[in-house]
Every structure is written in C-alpha cells, then in structure tokens.
Structure 1
Amino acid sequence: MKTVPMLFLLFILIEQVEAEEIQSAHSLKSIKLSAEEEFKKEHKVEKQFIEKANTLGDAIKHVSGVQSSSFGPNSGVPVIRGLQGNRVGVFENGTSIQGLNAISGNVNIPFDPIFTESIKINKSSNSVRYGDQSLGGSVEVDSGLIPKKIPEKSRELDLVLKKGWNNFDAKGLKLQLSNQTNLATNIRFSRQEIKSYKIPGKSKADVCESEIFRNGGVNSSLADVCQKDSRIKSTYNKASQPYIDRFITDNPDYADGDFSYYTDNATSTFGGKLYQNIVNPDYVQGTERFKHENINNDVTPNYNKKLGNSYAINDNIALGTTYFLENGYIGFSADYKKSHYGVPGFSMENKSFQTNYDDGLPVGVKTEQNTFLLDSLFNQPLPFLDNIQFKASNLVNKSGEYIGASEANLYEFEQNFAEFVVKQKELKFLSGEMGLSWGQRDVHGKGYARYLPNVKTNRQAFFIQEKLSFNPIYFDAGYRKEKVEHQIQDQTFVLARNANNQKLENRDFDLTQFYVGAGLNWGEHVHIYAKYSESERAPEINELYSSNPHYSVMTQEEGNQNLEKEKVKAMELNTDFAFDQSRIQLSLYQMDFTNYVYLMHSGMAMGNRLPLKYWRQTDVKIDGFEIDLSYKFLLCTRQK
C-alpha cells in the first residue's frame, strides 16, 4: 500500500513541473475535476471501448472490479466483483436481455458493438431498482435505437467497414431519418464474422502431453478435461523367461494369455505327471517381464497454429422510431439479432475410451433473438410529478446447442415485461422515484440432450428510491418488494438416475431488497459515500431443476428444488478525491452471503466421462477493494 502515497506525490510533482512550463509558454484555461459534479454510482463505458469489443464482457472488462467470463473467444459475460450469471443483471434499453446465457456459460449475450452508444455499470447491488437478479450489480446497454431527441440533420447515413488480423471482420449501416419536427427513425444493419482464431502453438495446453502420466499412473481427471484417451498398456515380454511350458503348449485351452506359455522352471508338474519344458530361444537374461506403453490419443483434434471450431457469425437488423410530443415522446423498436459460433476447447463430444474418433462432433451454438420495445416518457403530467415513464417489451430468445449437425437441445425463452415509473418533482430537500413492474417468462425446450424442464416464471414488484439532500451531506434509501413464482408446465422431462429431485414441483419466493446510504461533498474535490444493503435472490430454474448431461459445457449438473432463497448483507465505502488534473477513487466492499448457491463436484464421472455436479448452498463472505488513479496531461505549444 506504500505505492499509493508515492503515486499521489508523483502526481503533485508532475503538476508543479507542468505549471512552470506553462507559465514560460502562455496561459491556458485550467481544467478542474469536481468530485461533487462527476461522482456517480454508475461507471459509464464510452463508445471507443465498445466498438473494439467482440462480446459484452470484452467491452467492459477494463473497468476495475469487472471481468469477462469467457467460454472461448465468442462468448463473454460480465463478472462484477466475482459474481456473474443470475447475480448480475444485463439490460438493453431498460429491459432484461438475459436468456440461456445466464444459465449456460457457453451461450453468448446477443450484442452489437458497432452501433451501441454506451454501457453503464453499477458495481454494487442494484436489486432495489432491477430485482433479485441484480443482487451483484447491473450492466445497462444503451443501443441508441430509439431516438430520444430530434436529430440535427433530417438525413444521415453511417457506413462501417472493418478488416483485421485475428479479429472479427465487421460491416454495418445506420440510416437516420427525421422530419425535424416530431418524428425520427433509425434503421440499422451490422455483421461480424471470423473463420477461426490463429494461436502460437497447439490448441490444447502443454499439460495435456506432459502431466497426464505421473508416478506410474494416469491422471484421469486431467485426461477427461483434455479430452484424451489416456491409459497404460501392458504387454508381456516373451524374452523375459527362459523356458516354454510344455503342458500349456500341448493343452492351449488352459492358457490365459501369452504369459501362460512361459516359465522360469525347467520342469513342471500337472495332474501328477512331470513335463520337461522347452528352452525359450528368444530368452534375454535380465529383461523386464512386461513392457509398459503410454497411450495418449486425442479424442478431439489438437490443432496446430489455430483454435479449432472458433468460427463466429453475428447479425443484427433493427428499426427504432420516436414520435415527439410537447411534453415527452413515444418510441417503438424492433430488434433482430442472430449468432452462430463454435465452442472451442471442449469442441467435441467426449467419447468413451478406445472408440473410433474419426467422426468427431464439434459443438456449436445458434441463437436468435427478437425484441419489441415500447418506451414512453411524459414530462410534468401533474404539478407534483417530474415525469412518468412506461415501458413494455416482448423478447423471444431461441438458443440451440448442436453436436455436429445434430440438434442436442433447443430452448425458447419468451419474456414479457411492463414497468411503470413515476419520478416526483424535486422539492427543496427531497427527490426520488417509485414504480411497479411485472414480468413473465416461458421456457420451453426440446432435443435428445435436453437438461431443463418447461417452466413458467412470474415476477411482480414494487420499488421506491428517495434522496434527502442537505448540502454538503445527503442521504438516500431504497426498498423493493418482489414475488417470484416458478411453475412446472408438464412432467415430460426425464430426470437422470443420479438426480436429487424425484418429481419436479412448483416453487415461489417472497423477496425483500433495501439499502440506506449517506454521502458527503467536501468542497469541490472530495466525495465520500457509504452504503449498506440487504438483498435476496430466488434460485434460478437450472439451480432448481436441471438434470442430465450438458455436453457443450462438459458436465452433468443436477438441480435441487429444495434450495432456499439466497441472502446477502453488503457494505460499501466509496471515496473520490479530485485535484486539478489528478484523481484517486477508492472503493472498499464486503458481501456476507447466507445460502450462497454453488455447483459442487461429486467426485464421480458419468456417461462419456462427464463430471457429475450438484447444486448446493453454503455461507460465503467476499471482501475486496478497488483503486483507480488517473491524471489528465495538458498539452500546449509555446508561443513564438
């Protein structure tokens, strides 16, 4: 931690030297960073970072405390402070876009980096605003598809063409039309594609060759992960014994392999009769009785200089239009995204030992997503209201996993959502908002490798957030009450023989979320904010009901419908120090989980050597900190 004050002193020293140089040149208007003005709970990712990314996870992984959980180069989902999946909400234009991606790590989040405008990240619990699946934070994508203001020009066309080495080739078109009065429309098309990724060496790690055979045995777990047929073959050495057994030679039906024909003795007795054994002409004194050969065959190809099965094609076609009123707008959008990509690494069905591997079957993922969104805003509809916002959406996500050309499973997620939010007019000290939301999701699956049942999930919620400001101190608080119901639609889903569940049953959960916070704006340069929150999450359908092999993630996971709701108590302290061009931001956080849901390895392997894992619960505590140091350099030219 000694490096922190040293860096701070270095910033101050740079400022002094730079100031002297500027005085000897000419005066510039100073740039001041204000902690009070610029400190926000969300971190905004600008377009220059987004357009370089291939996945949503790639676009935000440069932010401190945020990572991308990659299942190969074509699938990257956000991870915030070690939490991901069902604990991090992902939204586009205010509506959830999570489907199978939150349940199966190999399924990507449909995402268009070419025309997305910005991304906001809330790194602390955002469950009061967005519900239990934002218990670990939220990622909000603003596609800019629905215009929120009248464009400056009546017509504008953007064309994009990108070619790169070992990266996506991309092309896109965006047409913006407006009557400059009350109507604006966006039309978009984009495509990204790559045939395969080039790599320096082999597609499988070196340990798949060097570490599988150790201490005279086979590391079977590593062999399974490497998708290797690894075994030690023992062959009898006919030159290791000096005699050939005469009785066995005359009576071969008594033999139990080649070693039965050889002996160390010149004579042998059977049934009271003495046999004179034959001298072995191939005998070599001192040789080992058995030869051991390490067999290490690739079940799936080990490619050289390329990552096998790493192709990808992503398409996006969308239209958004807005009618502007005197006091707001009504917008509508239709968005179609399609992707088809290979899952490298675990790229084939993990076949059994000593099988014919010539018919290797690569795993691929195909996703189609249709989204229809109505977004409306009405300013000051009543004297005591600042605005009313109403949103409604329908999203249909079809995600299929393929083994070769065969459809292993196909799931359709249909989500209907509506939200009504009222923002009150700011009083002298008080501001805030409250809202109602309703959501329904139907999950239907098919295919011989289906691992989830058909489930309908209903959600209803009420939330309120308020802020009380007494400059330089302020307080804020939020509360949400939520109901989640999982309803099994039929009993056609066949459970594995190792399943926890016997007969699938409906589950419902009553959830409560709240937070309280306090902040201090100390002049223009220092901001301190502390927050305490308690959040609850309902187990997802894969945690409750999954069963059977899931080849594309190479595991067999078994759900537990008796899981309790997950609870977390979290504390966070944020400090922001801004002095001229220097800035230091520090965050300390602690999350104390009760009934944390996790996937536990049973220690056993099932059919096709897939590890058997069970969903379990335990208590978990997560502590961490983040520090961001930044400095803005002033560039100037000397006067002549």
Structure 2
Amino acid sequence: MRHHVLAAAILSTFSSAYAADDTTLQTVEVRADKPAGSDTSVTVQNDRANNRTLGDMLEQVSGVQSSAFGPNAGAPVIRSLSGSRVQILEDGQSIMGMNAISGDINIPFDPLFARSATVSKSSDSVRYGGNAIGGSVNVDSGILSRKMEDKDHELELVLRKGYNDADAQGLRLNFNNSKNFSTNIQLSFQSIDHYKIPGNSKASVCNTGLFPATGGINSFIADSCQKEARIQQMYNKSSQPYIEQFIRDNPDWADGDFSFYTNNPTSVWQRKTYVNPANPAYVPGTPRTVENRINRDVTPDYHGTLGNSYSNNAHFGVGTTYFFNQGYVGVSLDSKESKYGVPGFSMENKSFGANYDEGLPVGVKIRQDKYALEGKLLSPVAYVDSAELRVSRLNNTSGETIGPTNANEYAFDTTQAELLLAQQRAGALSGVVGVSHRARDVTGSGPQLYLPDVGTTSNALFIRQNLDFDWASFDAGFRHEKVEHEIEASGFKTSRNAANTKLADRKFSLNSYNLGAAFELGKLWGAKLRYGSSERAPDINELYASNRHYSIMTQEEGNQNLKAERARNIELSVLFGLGGFKLTGTAYQMKYDNFLYLGHSGLQTANRLPLKYWKQTDTTVKGFELDASQAFSLGSYGKLNVSAFADLVKNKADNPDRLRTQNDGEYLPNMPTNRYGANLAWEHSGWKARLSSTYYDKQKYLGKSVSNEVPLDAYNMVNFQVSRAIDSPYARVTGLEVFISGSNLLNDDARPNNSPLKYIAPLPGRAFQVGLTMKL
C-alpha cells in the first residue's frame, strides 16, 4: 500500500489545484499552441544531480525507460525498443558501439556537464538511418560553442559527495575574445566503491519459483538467477517395515540403499531363511522415493550490499569554435573512460557440483576517443539558406574481464560525415537535403570472442520538406541507404551449434519515408498525425554472432541469411491547452515485418547457457502515453509546476509458429512495464525544489525462455532535489549553488522488468548526494 501513497498524494494535489485554477481563468482569452511538427520529440535538460547513466537521465520521459543492466549501465529503452533500433548520438554524430550489441556495455556519458538530450520517440530512420527505426537520442555535450558566450570567461567548479551515490568532481572552463574565438574545456570524475540495497541481491522468486507446484524446474528462473537446480529421486528409508538381514551381513551384494530394506519379515537367500528385524524408521504409507531438490547459488546472494558494483568514470573534452560573418567552424577532442563491475553476475558457469566460491567477478573497461569537426555556413550559394557539415572519428574500445584477465575486447573504429543543405524558404515551404557516410571497423581479441572482425559501410541520401501554415503544418521525408557488411580475416571460429557454416558478406538496400501533419483545432485543441515506413539492416551480432555471450547469459548464434526489418508506424497525438494547463495523449502502433529477436532453441549447451538463435517473425508494438502539466503562479511564494504521466507498451508476435509459442511465448521477456508518474517543481528567490514519484506496475505481458517468465513485485521510485543559489561576498564568484538530492526514498526493492539482471541485481537502495557548484 505504501507504494501508492506519495503518487496518490501528488496526483490529488494536481487534481484539486487544477479544479481551483479552472474557476479563475474564465475571463482570460487563451488558445492552444499550434503543434510545431508531427514527430514526438522531447528535450530533457541535465538538471538532475543523481543521473548515473543516459538511461537514468531520460527515464522520467513518458515511453522511455532505462535498460538498467545493473546501476552502472543504462541505455534508453524507447517504447520497448533499444540496442541497434535506437540511435544514440552526441552533437549530431552517432556514438553507438558495443553498447548497442552487449547490454552490460554502458553508453559513454558525462552526467555532470552534458547540457541536454533530445529524444525522438517516433521512428527517426529518415534522419538517422535504420538504426533509428525505434527512435533516437541526441546528447548536447556542451563542448562546442555554437554562438558567442555572454561573458569573455567563466570557470564552473562542481563538487559532489554521495551516500550510496557517486562522489563527483569537475570543472568547465570557457574563455573567448568576445569576437570570433571561443574555447571550452571540460574535466570530470565520478566514482563509487559499491551500492547498498534494501535486502538480498537475488529476488525471492529465485527460491520460491525455482520448483513450481506443477513439478520440475523453472529453467527460466534457474538461468536468470544463476542457480544450480536439480531434482534427485532418493530412496525413502522409512517406506519399508523391515531391514534385509542378509544384505546387512553381506553389504557387497547391495545395489543401493533400497537393497537393505524389505516388506517381508523373513527372506530366503541361498536356501537359508533369514529373520528380518523391524525397521525402527518405518512410517506406514510413506512413498518409496522422495525428491531431493538441489538449490545452490552459482553466484553469491548478497545481503545489504550489491557485490561488484564499483564504478569509476573520467572525462576530458576540449573544443574551439571560430565565428565569422556567415557562420562558424569548430573542432573538438573528447575522451571518456569507464571501469565498473557487473553486479551479481558470473562469466564462469562452472559444472554442476563445482566450488562456486572460486568464481571471479566480471568487470567492464571502456575507452572512447572522439575527434570532431563541425561547421555552419549561412547563404553559401543561391537558394540555399545554410550548409552544415559534421565530420568525426570515433575510437571506442570495450572489454569484459574475468577477475584481472581479459575475456574479450572489441574495438569500434568509426569514421562518419554528414552534409546538410537547408533550402531557402519559399512561402510556406522549407526543407533540408542531406548526404551521410559512415564506415565502421570492428576488431576483437581475447579468449571469449563471440563476434568476427567485420567492416561496415553505410551511405545515404535523404530529403525532408515542410509546409507551414497558420492553422496547420505538413511534413514528408525520404531516405535511401545502402549498408554493406564485409567479413575481415581473423582467427574467429564459429561454434558447432552455429547456423552459419562459412561467414559471408551481406549487402542491404533500404528505403524509409514518413508523412505527417499537425493541426490547430480551435483555440484549445491540437492534433498530430504521423505515418512512416522504415527499414533496418541486421547488425553484425544478428548476422554473425557465435559462441558464449555471457553478458546476455546466452550461447548466441547469428544467421547471415536474415532479411532487413521493416516497420510501418502510425501515431496520433491529441493536445489540449488552457492557460497554464497542458495535456497530451499519444497512441501508436508499429507493425514489423521480419522483426529480429533472439529465440530459444529449447536446449542448453554444456556450460548451462541457453542456446539461442537470431530469428524473425512479424510483430506488433503498440501503446499509449499521457502527459499533463499545470503551471501556477504563487505570487510572492514563487511558481509551481505540477505534472503527471502514464505509459503502456505491448510488444507481441503476430501469428507466432509453434516453436516460438512453446519456447519464447507471444511476448518477449524483459519488456518494460506500464508506469504512472507525478512531479512537483517549485522555484522562488534562488530556491529550487523537485519531488517525483514513479510507480512501476507488476508486469502483465510475460514472455518465456522455455519456462515462463516470473513477474516481480511493483515498486515506487520516489526522488527529490533541493538547491539554493547563494549570493557570494566575493566579486569574482558570480554564481554559487548548493544542493541535496535523494533517490529511492522508500528504499524499495526495485527491479525493472526490462532489466536482464532483474532477478540478481536490484537498483540501489535509498541514496543521497550533496553538492556545490561555483562559477568564477
């Protein structure tokens, strides 16, 4: 019951406040804002102190959750889609690497100085290619100035101290000549030794759900909880009334415990009669055999502390921009490093009966270096309003370790370039034409390889056009893209279970388009309608993976004969505005042809990992999102904003075949659950306060991994943050702010249903962070 208390209180405040406000606005002329476009996009400012990952930063956006692969790795999950279906960008350039393929690899992200992130919840394939078939996230790093800064110099210092949260330090420096040069330098560090949790690291169902009442073993629970689970049939020594005297005198004749007992008071052996004594342990009516249920933890079940949950992050960036009359050109260097543990998880699946205490923890090491050039030129030629060029080189190396030893390491070396030409506006018509090129080389090393070395190139041409009238706007876009995967020479070998015999190159030709409209419906209402058709080429893991992929607890096998995915999306949003009140409701449906998923074969390999193959089936993703907010002016007490949201998504196979239904179910496991959230935000005279409550419901749409997925309890995440801007007595100090924040205030055992580690690694328990920001 306590899960609902704060959410209900905030929603009650929302309802009563709106009712009161409705009576005071009768004489005020208001009208709804005309929708700016047909896409569903949201920009989130990085003003929350307790963002650990990019997924954490965006998890209060309706329709977006974090993958939560432990507390140190969290990617945005948009309407149940993630990985290679959600394009992750920084300053307009893709930073997708191993994080799109292996869930324990975090997206390099600076939680201190990243300015904002823009989420497109609709398919964004026309703009960013097939890897945005499920949407995109574009992070503004703040490294480059795109306009001259207001002051000729500013130094920002950040200090944070955490209780069950990270310690952090950082500085950001800008200096410029107020005319044409501006340089930014960023340096930050975050670290924590371990996270505390409310109870045990393994969920209670790891024991209560391991042996179902219907009999046997729930292999889904055993695999997910990393358990050794077996059932042995043992002879029941209490089932027979007499002890076999001859066998007791001649134990070498026995075939097992059952040989020592009998139902007869006498027995004849070698023509001699033996009197059998009574069995003192005999219990009439008991069965001849009993089950011995073996339940052993392969990995530790921690209490109070989440084992192997340390994290260390470092970031250095520098960017310089030169401004001139017709635009700017900027160059930047950005380097991020991360080292962290994958909690409650082992990459050593030892044989039954082994000494599991000798298992070694899993660690992740990430190093990402990005070199970028960005420029914008206004009116370069006739009929062109502006030209934008972005070029970057991204070197991302991600590796998994078993104890101190490298298990595998993959280097993603990516070169990408994009040119955008915005046409001069002609009446209501405006638009952009673009070309893009991306070349990526993936090379691996180490004993636990599951991917070959592959080179991938992508070339695309796209166009987007907009018609903007007073009462409505219309948009359309088209993209043609060619993707080629080329196998490179390496020592990689596929497993004996592989679907591929000899690895081969693949080429894909993709076409994507979208049509949209946004209308103003009277003074109070608006509507958006969007339709899109998008295609995505299978990525290298879906085509070529083979061998043990421990981070997803699977013997993963790709299939190089897979087809491209195609999604046909339709989305409708209705908007209402009245004074300070805004309401948006969105319903959507995405129908996928050849939806790629990792399907269970029904078998396990010798290392007790489930054997899964990349397969395809038609799938429908549908759901809704509801967002509401009310702004209040409190006069001398400041201003208050009250908001609430709800979302629901279902990802269901269309007409699945018998094997899909039997092994994987209609719904895939680890789907996001429906949520209900509410927020209070208040500002006054340098004070800022925010209180939020998000209720994660118990999952109703469950998948299978041969055995049924077991739902976990609902939970409520309650967070707060309070900050105060202080006037400094020193002239050089232009800004001083202190804050305190708290997360998971109810100390709930929080296990997101979409987390692959939900059964063995909950989110951190109650946590606090205090901090100071100083500007000079």
**Quick check: TM above 0.5?**
yes
Read off the aligned partner of 2:20 and give its amino acid letter: I
1:39 and 1:527 in contact (8 A); partners too: no
**Correspondences of 1:88-487 after superposition (within 5 Å):** 88-215=86-213, 217-232=216-231, 236=235, 245=244, 248=247, 252-269=251-268, 273-277=270-274, 279-280=276-277, 283-286=280-283, 293-347=292-346, 349-487=348-486
User: Secondary structure, in 3 states, of the residue corresponding to 1:609?
Assistant: coil
1:418 and 1:439 in contact (8 A); partners too: yes
Range moving further from structure 2, 312-321 or 466-475: 466-475
How far apart are residue 577 of structure 1 and its match? 2.2
2:244 and 2:277 in contact (8 A); partners too: no
Q: Write the distance in 2 (CA, Å) between the matches of 1:157 and 1:491.
A: 48
Deviations 1:553-584 (A, max 9, x none): 21111111111111111112223222211111
Q: Write the distance in 2 (CA, Å) between the matches of 1:214 and 1:193.
A: 42
2:88 and 2:138 in contact (8 A); partners too: yes
Q: Write the distance in 2 (CA, Å) between the matches of 1:620 and 1:132.
A: 17
User: Secondary structure, in 3 states, of the residue corresponding to 1:410?
Assistant: strand
Q: Write the distance in 2 (CA, Å) between the matches of 1:582 and 1:135.
A: 32
Q: Does 1:553 align with 2:540?
A: no
User: Secondary structure, in 3 states, of the residue corresponding to 1:542?
Assistant: helix
* Closer/same/farther in 2, CA of residues 421 and 217 from structure 1, 3 Å limit: closer
2:35 and 2:520 in contact (8 A); partners too: no
* Closer/same/farther in 2, CA of residues 437 and 361 from structure 1, 3 Å limit: same
* Closer/same/farther in 2, CA of residues 211 and 531 from structure 1, 3 Å limit: closer
1:236 and 1:258 in contact (8 A); partners too: yes
Deviations 1:285-319 (A, max 9, x none): 43656665443222211111111211111111111
Structure 2 unaligned spans of 5+: 1-11, 638-776
2:308 and 2:341 in contact (8 A); partners too: yes
* Closer/same/farther in 2, CA of residues 246 and 415 from structure 1, 3 Å limit: same
How far apart are residue 619 of structure 1 and its match? 0.8
User: Secondary structure, in 3 states, of the residue corresponding to 2:633?
Assistant: coil
Q: Write the distance in 2 (CA, Å) between the matches of 1:342 and 1:48.
A: 27
| Relative contact order higher in (CA < 8 Å, ≥ 6 apart) | 2
How far apart are residue 76 of structure 1 and its match? 1.0
* Closer/same/farther in 2, CA of residues 118 and 274 from structure 1, 3 Å limit: same
User: Secondary structure, in 3 states, of the residue corresponding to 2:328?
Assistant: strand
How far apart are residue 246 of structure 1 and its match? 5.6
Q: Write the distance in 1 (CA, Å) between the matches of 2:65 and 2:570.
A: 21
How far apart are residue 257 of structure 1 and its match? 2.5
Range moving further from structure 2, 134-143 or 606-615: 606-615
Deviations 1:145-188 (A, max 9, x none): 01112222222111111112222221111111112221111111
Read off the aligned partner of 2:283 and give its amino acid letter: G
* Closer/same/farther in 2, CA of residues 214 and 477 from structure 1, 3 Å limit: closer
Q: Write the distance in 1 (CA, Å) between the matches of 2:621 and 2:218.
A: 33
Q: Write the distance in 2 (CA, Å) between the matches of 1:280 and 1:608.
A: 48
Q: Write the distance in 2 (CA, Å) between the matches of 1:92 and 1:436.
A: 18
2:567 and 2:591 in contact (8 A); partners too: yes
* Closer/same/farther in 2, CA of residues 603 and 522 from structure 1, 3 Å limit: same
Q: 2:622 maps to what in 1? A: 623
Q: Write the distance in 1 (CA, Å) between the matches of 2:625 and 2:210.
A: 39
How far apart are residue 98 of structure 1 and its match? 0.6
Range moving further from structure 2, 193-202 or 35-44: 35-44
How far apart are residue 473 of structure 1 and its match? 2.9
Read off the aligned partner of 2:484 and give its amino acid letter: E
1:244 and 1:277 in contact (8 A); partners too: no
Q: 2:21 maps to what in 1? A: 15
* Closer/same/farther in 2, CA of residues 253 and 52 from structure 1, 3 Å limit: closer
How far apart are residue 323 of structure 1 and its match? 1.2
Range moving further from structure 2, 287-296 or 579-588: 287-296
Deviations 1:349-394 (A, max 9, x none): 3322110122121111111111110001111112321111111100
Q: Write the distance in 2 (CA, Å) between the matches of 1:254 and 1:133.
A: 69
Q: Does 1:52 align with 2:58?
A: no
TM-score by length of 1: 0.91
Q: Write the distance in 2 (CA, Å) between the matches of 1:597 and 1:137.
A: 16
Q: Write the distance in 2 (CA, Å) between the matches of 1:32 and 1:183.
A: 44
2:530 and 2:571 in contact (8 A); partners too: yes
Q: Write the distance in 2 (CA, Å) between the matches of 1:131 and 1:195.
A: 39
**Correspondences of 1:49-88 after superposition (within 5 Å):** 49=48, 51-88=49-86
* Closer/same/farther in 2, CA of residues 74 and 415 from structure 1, 3 Å limit: same
* Closer/same/farther in 2, CA of residues 606 and 322 from structure 1, 3 Å limit: same
Q: Write the distance in 2 (CA, Å) between the matches of 1:497 and 1:31.
A: 73
Q: Write the distance in 1 (CA, Å) between the matches of 2:479 and 2:231.
A: 60
Q: Write the distance in 2 (CA, Å) between the matches of 1:219 and 1:568.
A: 34
1:174 and 1:186 in contact (8 A); partners too: yes
Read off the aligned partner of 1:567 and give its amino acid letter: R
Read off the aligned partner of 1:149 and give its amino acid letter: K
Range moving further from structure 2, 275-284 or 463-472: 275-284
Q: 2:680 maps to what in 1? A: none
Deviations 1:435-468 (A, max 9, x none): 1111100011112111111100000000111112
* Closer/same/farther in 2, CA of residues 578 and 254 from structure 1, 3 Å limit: same
Q: Write the distance in 1 (CA, Å) between the matches of 2:469 and 2:289.
A: 86
How far apart are residue 283 of structure 1 and its match? 3.5
Read off the aligned partner of 2:271 and give its amino acid letter: L
Deviations 1:220-242 (A, max 9, x none): 44223222223345655667656
* Closer/same/farther in 2, CA of residues 634 and 40 from structure 1, 3 Å limit: farther
Deviations 1:92-143 (A, max 9, x none): 0010011111111111111111101111111111111111111111111001
How far apart are residue 266 of structure 1 and its match? 4.8
Q: Write the distance in 2 (CA, Å) between the matches of 1:592 and 1:31.
A: 42
How far apart are residue 282 of structure 1 and its match? 6.0
Q: Write the distance in 2 (CA, Å) between the matches of 1:7 and 1:626.
A: 21
2:38 and 2:529 in contact (8 A); partners too: no
How far apart are residue 496 of structure 1 and its match? 1.3
Range moving further from structure 2, 224-233 or 552-561: 224-233
2:37 and 2:475 in contact (8 A); partners too: no
How far apart are residue 326 of structure 1 and its match? 1.7
1:431 and 1:466 in contact (8 A); partners too: yes
**Correspondences of 1:464-543 after superposition (within 5 Å):** 464-490=463-489, 492-522=491-521, 525-543=524-542
Range moving further from structure 2, 236-245 or 527-536: 236-245
TM-score by length of 2: 0.76
* Closer/same/farther in 2, CA of residues 362 and 250 from structure 1, 3 Å limit: same
How far apart are residue 429 of structure 1 and its match? 2.1
User: Secondary structure, in 3 states, of the residue corresponding to 2:99?
Assistant: helix
Over the matched positions of the two proteins, sequence identity in percent amounts to 48
2:375 and 2:388 in contact (8 A); partners too: yes
Range moving further from structure 2, 6-15 or 452-461: 6-15
1:491 and 1:504 in contact (8 A); partners too: no
Read off the aligned partner of 1:559 and give its amino acid letter: G
Q: Write the distance in 2 (CA, Å) between the matches of 1:247 and 1:15.
A: 94
